[in-house]
Amino acid sequence: MKLFVGIIVLFLTFSAYAVDKSSGCGAGWYVTKRNSLVSSTIRGTTNAIFFNATLGMTSGTMNCARHSIVKSEKRGIHYAEANFHQLMVDMSRGEGEFLEGFAHVVGYSGDMKLFGGMVQQNFGDIFVNSDTTAQEMYENFKNVVI
Amino acid sequence: MKKLLVTIIFLSMAASCEAASLYDKLQGRMGLQYWLKLLHYKPNFWGHYKSITDSPNFFLDKNGKYNPEAEFYASIKAFKDGKPLVGTLKLHPQCAFPERYRFLKEIGLLNTMDAPCKDFKEWKKGINAESISLVFSTSFPNNPASLFGHTFIRINQKGKKSDLLDYAATYGANTSEEGSKFRYVFYGLFGGYKGYFNFMPYYQKVNEYNNSESRDIYEYKLNLEPDGVDRIVNHLWELYTTAWFDYYFLDENCSLILGGVLELGRDEWNLTKKDKWYYLPADLIKLIAKTKGAVDEVGFRPSIGRRLDWRLSSLNSGEKKLFSAVKSGDVISEQIGNTKVLDALIVYFDFLKHKEFGVLRPKHKKIYHQVLLRRSKFKDGTAIKKDWKRDNKPDLGHGPQKFSLIAGAVNDSSVAGIHFKFGYHDLLDNDKGYEPFSGLDFAEIGVEYNYDLKELDISHIGVINIFSLHPMNFYDPRFSWQVGLNQLFAGEIDGMGKTKWRADGGAGATFNLGSDYFRWYFMFGAVAETSKHFENSWRLGPKVDTGLLMNPTEKYKLTLTGRVIGDVIRRIKKDYYGEAVLGQSLWIKRNQELRLNVAYVSRFGSFDRSTYSARFGWNFCF
């Protein structure tokens, strides 16, 4: 039976799980890799924020927690990195789930409409041009808020 | 001396009696079932237990993988002694296995001081679990090879403000080392990859599946009591810090392992019940949806491709023109006041960006930025129009295996037969719970009795048949393709009793004719056929394929397909034959279908003479 199944899957070449390399670690991240400053560390840092940074490494989950460079107070910037594309969309519209998540991560707990409106109004200052990076966006956002 | 011997014997008996009674107590207090679940023990054919966990760190007895009782005693001893320290983190046994410890204490088999377990407590506080969701991500758009989808867990936080900030617990093979696809397939099937648990923010998974890979996400929130949630979270820690499993794509995959974790949530849950030689993500979803009261609610996150579809379909023709003009740079977005168009443009560029791995071409990048800037001038957003006419939750799908009773006629002879298919979904199957008009069939066999010939023959062997029909559109133009390997009747010689083997493949394009439920495809390809009934024993040649596919109502489908196949080997003039098939299916229940196939196969070298056949099937899926 296994041989038979082998033939089938060879036909498929790529099984569902094959493409799902991401379900362990890796893939998926290529999206942010090219235009980010700290994206390669995101996986590690997001883990590091809430989990003992050594865990991922020692339990053999490879790639996931190799870096623990960034401390938890930088959670906002990592959220911005990881959700850069979606934040760009939500900020221009002044609403959206990714923007709400961002608000919470940076510690805003007030009225979302207000937050959304403010970000939207200042969109041009936050995303200055088409090359604005996630980190610049985050800095600009802080300047707008403060 | 004799006395000493007797004493020793008695002592050892007493020891074993006491030991046996503790394990008996576990059984007596209905704890054995949970113990077996918690350590992922499964009985083999002979009734011997073996855990599907493969890492030595997960067991405190060196024979623990094969011996639940020895593992039980070793655990009790380790929890009392505070050693051995477990894993590379050197955790106190109570801290490495908090659920095991809690459970043994709860049923009164253990009475020791609790270790502080700082790491575990900190982690658990960070997770802050209130409830658990089982998440299903569908296949890549019309890529039959990924039809099976993927599953993982979301841990819903207490008092949460956003789902995105929850944690996802995923289980997957670690395939990070570079390797050939062949190795990937080989390891996946026969073992060689290790599967691990990992945690990450949910937004990471949403970005990955919804946006980068354009896959829909379904979230099944489970109905659990707080202690059920607790059990699962504790156990996830145990797996995270100590366990790996040999990963097999078809059975010991993400879904079987996740089922084994989730079934801890309620004593009566059994989510690792395998009734086939494979266990697919949708099997877990169906099993949990079928478990009474297990699912509270189902959430849905449309893929970016679907969101784009919805946005575009909400535009009228004038708006579509405007959309195209801005997209190609002919009109600058500053002149636009229509948020519907702007919103559609935003999803379009976002889609392109993800398709191109996060980087837009410079020209697009500039236009995109202008569009976003323009959009930020308008307060009121337009809600996305959900063009979701049919509920397509994966738990609603038909069973992948199919048994059929068949009756019909070939030319003037009556035939009757049976047909069995291991999986999975063909073009006439009900698309509910599946990717529409997708086709992935494997391992089928049919036998048929011909009343005139008085012969029982193998009528069909299907090794593999894949149809990937991706509708052409301007934002994601992709080829459609097809491959197949089958044994079938050679109607072009004589529809009765004579069989041939055929391997074929083709590529072309598919178009939606007005709606997603009405498609047309055409393909060019090649066919190789062999049979002892052929003059040269084999043929090789080009083919042209075309088909109309209709699904006007949820329960009814009609397909009309045709092909012309040539033979370049013989180098004679009339070296072709043609096939046409009209197929209809009517679903009377979720797992029951009536099907009628009428086929015409021309004789080799002629379209005048032909073999006609009609077959009626009553099909049962399971």
The count of C-alpha atoms lying within 13 angstroms of the C-alpha of B230, restricted to the half-sphere facing its C-beta, is: 10
What's the pLDDT at B493? 85
For the stretch B45-73, pLDDT in tens is 888 999 999 999 999 999 999 999 999 99
Minimum distance, in Å, between the CA of residue B173 and any CA atom of chain A: 6
Give domain status of residue A125, yes or no.
yes
Instruction: Say how many domains are in chain A.
Output: 1
DSSP strand pairing (B402-410 vs B556-566) = unpaired
For the stretch A52-71, pLDDT in tens is 332 332 333 333 333 332 33
Restricting to A residues 80-109, those with a Cβ less than 8 Å away from any Cβ of B are 82-83, 85-86, 88-89, 91-95, 97-98, 100-101, 104-105, 109
A3 CA to centre of own chain? 41
Give domain status of residue A65, yes or no.
no
Tell me A20's DSSP state.
Answer: G
Contact (CB<8Å) A58/B88 = yes
Closest Cα to residue B544, out of B575, B578, B516, B515? B578
- SS3 (DSSP) at B228: helix
What's the pLDDT at B207? 92
What's the pLDDT at A41? 31
Tell me B146's DSSP state.
Answer: G
Predicted complex ipTM: 0.84
What's the pLDDT at B481? 92
Minimum distance, in Å, between the CA of residue A129 and any CA atom of chain B: 7
> Distance between CA A127 and CA A134 in Å, rounded?
9
Nearest CA in chain A to B243: A59
B147, B162, B184 ranked by CB distance to A18: nearest: B184
Q: How many CB atoms lie within 10 A of CB A49?
A: 18
The residue among B161 and B36 whose pLDDT is bigger is: B36
What's the pLDDT at B182? 65
Question: Which residues neighbour B51 within 8 Å (Cβ) at sequence distance 6 or greater?
Answer: B39, B40, B41, B42, B58, B59, B64, B65, B66, B68
pLDDT bucket at B591, cuts 50 / 70 / 90: very high
Give domain status of residue A47, yes or no.
no
A-chain residues within 8 Å CB-CB of B181?
Answer: 13-14, 18
Examine the pLDDT at A20 and tell me if it is beyond 90. Answer: no
B431 CA to centre of own chain? 15
> Distance between CA B594 and CA B585 in Å, rounded?
6
The answer to whether residues B169 and A13 touch, using CB atoms and an 8 Å cutoff, is no
Give domain status of residue A132, yes or no.
yes
> Distance between CA B160 and CA B336 in Å, rounded?
38
Lowest-confidence range among B52-61, B245-254, B373-382, B610-619?
B245-254
> Distance between CA B171 and CA B40 in Å, rounded?
15
Closest Cα to residue A78, out of A54, A100, A48? A48
Give domain status of residue A127, yes or no.
yes
pLDDT bucket at B501, cuts 50 / 70 / 90: very high
Minimum distance, in Å, between the CA of residue B533 and any CA atom of chain A: 26
What's the pLDDT at A48? 31
Nearest CA in chain B to A130: B369
H or E segment and range at residue B15: helix B2-28
Lowest-confidence range among B177-181, B517-521, B615-619?
B177-181
> Distance between CA B102 and CA B91 in Å, rounded?
16
Give domain status of residue A35, yes or no.
yes
Over residues B137-148, mean pLDDT: 67
Nearest CA in chain B to A104: B161
Count of all residues that appear for chain B in the document:
622
Contact (CB<8Å) A94/B381 = yes
The answer to whether residues B563 and B544 touch, using CB atoms and an 8 Å cutoff, is yes
- SS3 (DSSP) at B580: strand
A61, A64, A104 ranked by CB distance to B162: nearest: A104
Examine the pLDDT at B581 and tell me if it is beyond 70. Answer: yes
Contact (CB<8Å) A24/B170 = yes
- Mean predicted lDDT score pLDDT of chain B: 88
Nearest CA in chain B to A49: B126
Nearest CA in chain A to B88: A58
Give domain status of residue A76, yes or no.
yes
Question: Which residues neighbour A84 within 8 Å (Cβ) at sequence distance 6 or greater?
Answer: A32, A35, A36, A134, A137
Contact (CB<8Å) A98/B188 = no
Q: Which domain holds residue A83?
A: 25-39+71-145
Minimum distance, in Å, between the CA of residue B606 and any CA atom of chain A: 33
Residue in this structure with the two tokens 């399971």, named with its chain if needed: B622
Contact (CB<8Å) A98/B164 = yes
Contact (CB<8Å) A130/B353 = no
Give domain status of residue A8, yes or no.
no
Could you tell me what percent of chain B has a pLDDT over 90? 59
Minimum distance, in Å, between the CA of residue A118 and any CA atom of chain B: 10
Closest Cα to residue A88, out of B300, B347, B340, B338? B347
Over residues B137-154, mean pLDDT: 76
What token pair was written down for B218? 């379904």
Residue in this structure with the two tokens 């066999």, named with its chain if needed: B445
Question: Which residues neighbour B317 within 8 Å (Cβ) at sequence distance 6 or greater?
Answer: none
For the stretch B303-331, pLDDT in tens is 999 899 889 988 999 999 999 999 998 88
H or E segment and range at residue A33: helix A30-33
Restricting to A residues 8-27, those with a Cβ less than 8 Å away from any Cβ of B are 8-27
- SS3 (DSSP) at B32: helix
Angle in degrees, CA B203, B209, B214, rounded to 5: 130
B-chain residues within 8 Å CB-CB of A27?
Answer: 208
What token pair was written down for B430? 């009900």
A-chain residues within 8 Å CB-CB of B442?
Answer: 8
Which of B137, B146, B350 is the mutation pick for testing A, counting most A CBs within 10 A? B146
pLDDT bucket at B369, cuts 50 / 70 / 90: very high
Give the domains, in start order, of chain B with CATH numbers: 2-116 (no CATH), 129-301 (3.90.1720), 311-375 (no CATH), 397-621 (2.40.160.40)
Question: Which residues neighbour B123 within 8 Å (Cβ) at sequence distance 6 or greater?
Answer: A50, A51, A52, A55, B237
For the stretch B148-191, pLDDT in tens is 888 999 999 998 888 999 999 998 877 665 556 666 666 666 77
Minimum distance, in Å, between the CA of residue B14 and any CA atom of chain A: 40
pLDDT bucket at B616, cuts 50 / 70 / 90: very high
- SS3 (DSSP) at B410: strand
Examine the pLDDT at B259 and tell me if it is beyond 90. Answer: yes
A5, A15, A31 ranked by CB distance to B145: nearest: A15
